[in-house]
Amino acid sequence: MSLEGINDFPPPPLMAVNALGYDVTKDLRTADEDRVSSGSSITSSYDDVEEKGVDVVNGPPPNLPAFLTPAYNALKAMQRFLGFHKAYNIPLWIIFGGAMTAFCISRMPYYNKTFMLDHIGLQNWYWFHQQPYRFGLYFHLATALPGGVLVPLQFVPAIRYKNIMIHRIIGYYCIFMIVLACAGGFTLARRVLSGDPAGDMHTIILGATPLFELLMAWINIKRLQIDEHRKWMLRAWCTMGAIVSTRLIFQVAPKYIDKVGTYSITYSCDNVLFDAGGNSTLLGELFPACLTAPDLKTFFVAVPANSRTGGILGYVATLRLSYTLCNWLKLTENLIAAGFISVRAEVYIHLTAAESERLRIVSYHKQLERGFKHPGSAGITADRIGDAHWTPPVVGALPNRV
């Protein structure tokens, strides 16, 4: 089907209904208005429709107190500026996108070597002052933080609808930086705080999961399956946002371990000596067996996780033991609450089913224009293997954006 063939379709009625029953109450612009010079795909007539039927600057509700009217008007003005068509998207974007951006900006002083060594914590010094772990840490920070700062822009409708090229450039940049950041994180996996296999495996899974989700998003957008691309991108960035909730939990977990006071963790004598500032006399007083050890790096002692009796070593032990505990608590948060990880993404995806359907119709028309074998399901969609097969919409029918 050529671009000129679009004009052969009968004009869409003012009131059309697609396969899932979404009413369309607005006129679509003609293909001549929306045709692009490259002629490679249909753009505006399906994926950049003027939302004439959606007024995002409605007057305040009649029962709204007068003192809240300025705030309501400001919210609506921001909603129109950013391009959102549902008011609940604004606080979601500010809270979760703002948390990601604020966290990345707050960590940028770590680019300074002196600042990082002063603030990274004694529990990390022993391994991160050695190679390749020091390079892995620098590389991880240098790539993850710039990518994380720009991510919220990918979820601003005004950018996606009015300048898709900016959306694509930022998207590829963020994906490239996160892939590099995960590579740097994998070099640190063996030397996470806990020092046990559970902590090591968590670090690997935490890096591999968003890489898989980004791969699925990339495959779907290459197949013009825009609705699935949106879902996988939401999942990927929510998974990476898990680091924020982990940091919040990490503020509490060491206090719990320290209060119990009966936990302990194994240290090599060389690690104890390093944390003790190289004071071999103190090492001999605390752990006499280390003085007769044939190799300080391979001889291990149990350090109590109790700052009251163990001093600075006991405090560091509480921090190291907290790592795996925090990750388990974060997993529990993911399973039972709408936290920062996939539950939040899945809840949002299910709440915006109309937007997913709209994007699937956009995908259908784009894939039909390109001559794909299964338009509407050319990407990785559930109906390719399941029993709920998707039905193409009425020509021209397009649900409202959310």
Q: Phi/psi at 84 (nearest 5 deg)?
A: -75, 145
Question: Do 85 and 157 fall within a single domain?
Answer: yes
* Region for residue 45 given its phi and psi (left: phi exceeds 0; alpha: psi -120 to 50; beta: otherwise): alpha
Contact 333, 223 (CB under 8 A): no
Domain residues for the domain of 187 are 69-249+337-350
* Region for residue 261 given its phi and psi (left: phi exceeds 0; alpha: psi -120 to 50; beta: otherwise): left
Q: What is the pLDDT of residue 47?
A: 39
Question: Do 276 and 146 fall within a single domain?
Answer: no
Q: What is the pLDDT of residue 215?
A: 94
> How many domains does the chain fold into?
2
Signed CA dihedral, 84, 86, 87, 90: sign only: negative
Question: Do 276 and 223 fall within a single domain?
Answer: no
- Residue 264 CA to residue 270 CA, distance in Å, equals 17
- Residue 234 CA to residue 224 CA, distance in Å, equals 17
Q: Is residue 95 part of a domain?
A: yes
Question: Do 95 and 185 fall within a single domain?
Answer: yes
Q: CB neighbours (10 Å) of residue 36?
A: 11
Task: Going residue by residue through the chain, which has 402 residues, state the pLDDT in tens, using 9 for 90 and above.
Answer: 444 444 444 444 433 344 334 343 333 333 333 333 333 333 333 334 333 334 444 567 778 788 888 888 888 888 888 888 777 788 888 888 888 888 889 888 888 877 776 666 666 677 777 788 888 888 888 899 998 899 889 888 889 888 889 999 999 999 999 999 999 888 887 777 666 777 778 788 888 888 999 999 999 999 889 888 988 998 888 888 777 877 778 788 888 888 887 888 888 888 888 877 778 888 888 888 888 888 888 888 888 888 777 777 888 888 888 877 787 777 666 555 434 445 567 777 777 778 888 888 888 888 888 888 888 888 888 777 766 778 876 655 554 544
What is 160-199 written as a DSSP string? HHH-HHHHHHHHHHHHHHHHHHHHHHHHHGGG-SS-SHHH
Q: Is residue 154 part of a domain?
A: yes
Question: Do 269 and 202 fall within a single domain?
Answer: no
Question: Do 288 and 341 fall within a single domain?
Answer: no
Q: Is residue 383 part of a domain?
A: no
Signed CA dihedral, 20, 22, 24, 25: sign only: positive
Question: Do 244 and 278 fall within a single domain?
Answer: no
Question: Do 208 and 260 fall within a single domain?
Answer: no
Q: Is residue 41 part of a domain?
A: no
Q: Is residue 171 part of a domain?
A: yes
Q: Is residue 103 part of a domain?
A: yes
Q: What is the dihedral angle through the alpha carbons of 312, 313, 315, 319, rounded to the nearest 10 degrees? A: 130
Question: Do 151 and 271 fall within a single domain?
Answer: no
Considering the entire predicted model, what is its pTM?
0.66
Question: Do 78 and 197 fall within a single domain?
Answer: yes
Question: Do 218 and 236 fall within a single domain?
Answer: yes
Q: What is the pLDDT of residue 137?
A: 83
Interstrand relation of 300-304 and 23-24 (parallel, antiparallel or unpaired) = unpaired
Question: Do 171 and 280 fall within a single domain?
Answer: no
Q: Is residue 212 part of a domain?
A: yes
Q: Is residue 228 part of a domain?
A: yes
Q: What is the pLDDT of residue 167?
A: 92
